[in-house]
Amino acid sequence: MSSSVAGNLSTLDPTRWVQPDTTAMRRPHTESGAMSVLPVIPEQTRLYTSVKRIADIVFAVSLLCLLGPLMGVVALLVKLTSPGGVFFTQTRVGLDGATFKMYKFRSMRKDAEDDREFLSELNEQDGPVFKIAEDPRLTPIGKFLRRSSLDELPQLWNVLKGEMAIVGPRPLWEPEAEKVSDRARLRTRVKPGLTCLWQIAGRSEIAYDEWVELDLYYIQNRSLLLDILIVCQTIPAVLSGRGAY
């Protein structure tokens, strides 16, 4: 990552998290020459890993207790508004390339994955990722679930199971992960998370190369303070709905 970008990101001030300026976190598109150099990934200390895991469990349990009634309402609405199951599971790539089943509230019609190839020309994201802002496969309530990020709440179970963390790079779908570069594959050196720098910087509005660089910056500079700042900035990011589709 360039020194100017690192400088912008390193200016995160704990006193400014109430009204974060996430535009400062954006990184210019990476040039092909810079992409050829793989960054050094520091090892996680045992203390950081242990404290982070305890915090993940406490946070996940607290949110499940607090949001349990809301999740029940969402599950009922999903079931009543379209045929199919309440939950959608998909194989994602996690820590050190291990695969796991990631949970979401179903926001698309049943068997929507089968139509991906036919909709490939509508893809609005570069790189190996597939995203459509006005996806025709969304259910009547699906767009709202995506916009509000309520569809992601079941991933708190993934956190409790130890497959995900509260903060970490978003896990890619297995077929997408197979297409990434060696540089992007470094994202799997840490446990994937519910939220990350990409999440608070604009999500699907962020170019794929920039997404990768934001994740690599997090991995190289991860700390409990940075995790706290990201969690705090996730709240206004989710409420804004920016880039959520």
pLDDT of residue 80: 95
pLDDT of residue 220: 93
* pLDDT at residue 172 greater than cutoff 60: yes
CA angle 121, 125, 130 (to 5 degrees): 70
What is the rounded average pLDDT of the residues 162-187?
Answer: 94
Question: What is the radius of gyration, based on Cα positions, of the chain?
Answer: 18
pLDDT of residue 130: 81
Whether residue 132 contacts residue 122, with contact meaning beta carbons closer than 8 Å, is answered with yes
Which residues 6+ apart lie within 8 Å of 228 measured at CB? Answer: 14
Q: Read off the pLDDT band of 241 (50, 70, 90).
A: confident
* Percent of the chain surpassing pLDDT 70: 84
pLDDT of residue 36: 52
Instruction: Give the Cα separation of 162 and 53 in Å (integer).
Output: 8
Which residues 6+ apart lie within 8 Å of 161 measured at CB? Answer: 100
* pLDDT at residue 79 greater than cutoff 50: yes
How far, in Å, are 53, 127, 192, 199 from residue 99 at the CA level?
19, 20, 11, 22
- For the chain, the structural domain boundaries read 52-240
Instruction: Give the Cα separation of 210 and 214 in Å (integer).
Output: 6
* pLDDT at residue 17 greater than cutoff 70: no
Range with the largest mean pLDDT of 90-94, 136-140, 198-202: 90-94
Q: Read off the pLDDT band of 222 (50, 70, 90).
A: very high
pTM of the model: 0.82
Pairing of strands 193-195, 165-167: parallel
Least confidently predicted of 18-22, 51-55, 75-79: 18-22
